[in-house]
Amino acid sequence: MGGSEVSNVRRRFARTRRFRRSRRGVVSVIGTLLALLVFFALFGIFITQYLPLWMVDNEEAFTAQAEASFALLKSNIDSQYVLGGPPALGTPFTISSQAVPLLAQPTEATLQFLPTTCPGGFYAKGVTGATASNYGQPVNSSECVFANMTMTAGPGSSGYLSQRIASGVVEMILPNRYYAAQTFYMEDDAVIQEQPGGFELMDLAPPLNITHTAGNTSISGSLLQMVGNSSIVLGQGSEFVYSHLRYASTVTSIGTFVKTNSSYLPFKFTFEIGTQYPCAWWGFLSNLTKQSGLSSGNITLSPATPYPLTTCLALGGVTQVLKVTVSNVNYLSYYNAGVQIVLGVGGT
């Protein structure tokens, strides 16, 4: 019996000695666990707080780059048809944002060119169903993006003149994940910016101006047609959009000449735009009519009231037509131009 008690004491003593010798190992394990906890806590803060802020900055810069690229594209095209050259220009577009290394992929945009055709053509003299009120408008406005300028006195005191184009659209979709998603459109020499919810902004206005000074009304503008093959670009890095000048001419009018007193009679001018972004166009045209200095009897905008957001959200591919009519115009000058749009390598 005595020997058994001695053995138990010895075993308890040995376990105590082993436990005392392994205290350093226990401290190391606890220290490692605490370090891991601190690391994961800091990493969690980085993922939930700093990473979104980093990507917001990246996507905000990406949006600004897209806006600058559209501004440069518009400037290049304007220079081509106003100055007559160079015949081909390339505009770089950044099509992806910066990333966060190992943690967040870049946001990739969709860049595309959509040439538009108007089914059935346009109403004109001799076309079935044509009337004086629908000259220059498409026979079928569904999915038809167009612009039209008409005047009751054409160049050289000629009669009624109407010129119209199917404008085409350059589009860039930015599906931002942290910053607000954006879509940019270029049509008829104007750049429109759209955000979710139907919010539209005329980012870069077309060169349409109406001025009234010293009793004279002058108008300047442009009809820009973009033609080419439908194309789309996806991916990362950058891509070039090439514009090739195909034609350009200037149309001017000073009214109808009256021989009896060697003067010119003023005339009526109408600008029509068929678009799927009516909220942006209405805001621009409304400001244009207000700033022209003309009385309400000499300039009208149709529709007279702004589009509700519900209309801009649910167009369903049907074009909305906006019209500005100016009476008693003394001088008119506008460019009628066309460029071919090509995306990517080989555009030259």
Residues 26 and 112 in one domain: no
The tens place of each residue's pLDDT in the chain, 348 residues long, gives 445 555 554 555 455 555 555 555 566 767 677 776 766 666 666 567 677 888 888 899 999 999 999 999 999 999 999 998 788 999 999 999 887 777 778 889 999 998 876 766 677 666 777 776 666 667 666 667 889 899 999 888 788 888 888 888 999 999 998 888 999 999 999 999 988 877 888 999 999 999 998 889 999 999 999 999 989 998 888 899 999 999 999 999 998 888 888 888 999 999 999 888 888 999 999 999 999 888 888 999 999 988 887 777 766 667 788 999 999 999 999 999 999 999 976 544
The whole-angstrom distance between residue 304's C-alpha and the CA centroid of its chain comes to: 25
Nearest residue to 49 via CA among 109, 96, 103, 98: 103
Residues 130 and 255 in one domain: yes
Residues 71 and 29 in one domain: no
Residues 9 and 97 in one domain: no
- Residue 58: inside a domain, yes or no? no
Length of the chain as a residue count:
348
Residues 31 and 86 in one domain: no
Query: Token digits for 256?
Result: 């109808």
pLDDT at 17: 54
- Residue 169: inside a domain, yes or no? yes
Residues 247 and 335 in one domain: yes
Residue 102's region, left for phi above 0, alpha for psi from -120 to 50, else beta, is: left
Contact 87, 244 (CB under 8 A): yes
> How distant, in Å, are the alpha carbons of 31, 136, 228, 272 from that of 27?
6, 87, 73, 81
pLDDT at 5: 57
Radius of gyration of the chain (CA): 33
pLDDT at 347: 46
- Residue 53: inside a domain, yes or no? no
Query: Token digits for 57?
Result: 């900055």
Annotate 289-319 with b (16+ C-beta within 10 A) or e (fewer).
beebebeeebbebeeeeebeeeebeeeeeeb
pLDDT at 113: 92
Contact 247, 338 (CB under 8 A): yes
Residues 91 and 144 in one domain: yes
- Residue 55: inside a domain, yes or no? no
User: Which structural domain range is residue 105 located in?
Assistant: 63-343
- Residue 50: inside a domain, yes or no? no
Annotate 19-34 with b (16+ C-beta within 10 A) or e (fewer).
eeeeeeeeeeeeeeee
Across the strands, what pairs with 166? 146
- The count of domains in the chain is 2
Distance CA(193)–CA(208), nearest Å, equals 19
Q: Around 160, how many Cα atoms within 13 Å sit in the side-chain half-sphere?
A: 8
3-state secondary structure of 263: strand
Residues 333 and 303 in one domain: yes
Query: Token digits for 301?
Result: 């905008």
Contact 155, 161 (CB under 8 A): yes
Distance CA(76)–CA(66), nearest Å, equals 15
3-state secondary structure of 145: coil
Positive or negative, the CA dihedral 21, 27, 28, 29 is: positive
pLDDT at 65: 94
- Residue 54: inside a domain, yes or no? no
> How distant, in Å, are the alpha carbons of 44, 96, 291 from that of 51?
10, 17, 46
Residues 136 and 201 in one domain: yes
Residues 34 and 71 in one domain: no
Residue entry with tokens 């629908």: 134
- Residue 272: inside a domain, yes or no? yes
pLDDT at 128: 75
- Residue 348: inside a domain, yes or no? no
Residues 39 and 166 in one domain: no
pLDDT at 348: 44
Residues 40 and 67 in one domain: no
